[in-house]
Amino acid sequence: MHGLDAAFSALADPTRRAILARLAKGEATVMELANPFKMTQPAISQHLKVLEDAGLVVGRVEGTKRPRRLAKAGIEAMDQWLAILRKALERNYDRLDEVLASMERQKKGEKR
């Protein structure tokens, strides 16, 4: 069983989060992942190993290649991730609601 701790520490690294986000678009090989991140293939492989050990990513064999895709836990992590981003935006817009309300009060005050 994969511990929650492993998933959390796997997600603590920005490159690994970006790899997960890329895999959310579909399967990719190490080479396909290495290019956009401007990293060497061994460096990407190391990140993939951490993600695999945490149960977030799985691979399959296709000839000499080993394309990776998101595991169920990885998909759940992506959902949470969008939810977190959503929350940050929601906080901003809740504040904007208050700003708009005070603009409205000011406008009414000026008319008086």
Partner 1 sequence: MSKLTLKTEGDTHVVVTRRFAAPPEAVYRAHVDPKLVQQWMLGPEGWSMPVCVNEARPGGKIHYEWANGKGGGFRLTGEFLELEPYSRIVHVERMHLPDPTPDNHIETRFDAEDTGTLMTMRMTLPNVQTRAAMLATGMERGMEASYVRLEGML
Q: Note the residues at the interface with partner 1 (CB under 8 A).
A: 14, 17-18, 21-22, 24-25, 36-37, 81-82, 84-93, 95-101, 103-104
Nearer to partner 1, 13 or 62 (CB): 13
Nearer to partner 1, 61 or 99 (CB): 99
Quote the least distance from Cβ 79 to partner 1, whole Å: 12
Nearer to partner 1, 64 or 92 (CB): 92
Quote the least distance from Cβ 26 to partner 1, whole Å: 10
Quote the least distance from Cβ 29 to partner 1, whole Å: 14
Quote the least distance from Cβ 98 to partner 1, whole Å: 8
3-state secondary structure the chain: CCCHHHHHHHHCCHHHHHHHHHHCCCCECHHHHHHHHCCCHHHHHHHHHHHHHCCCEEECCECCECCEEECHHHHHHHHHHHHHHHHHHHHHHHHHHHHHHHHHHHHHHHHC
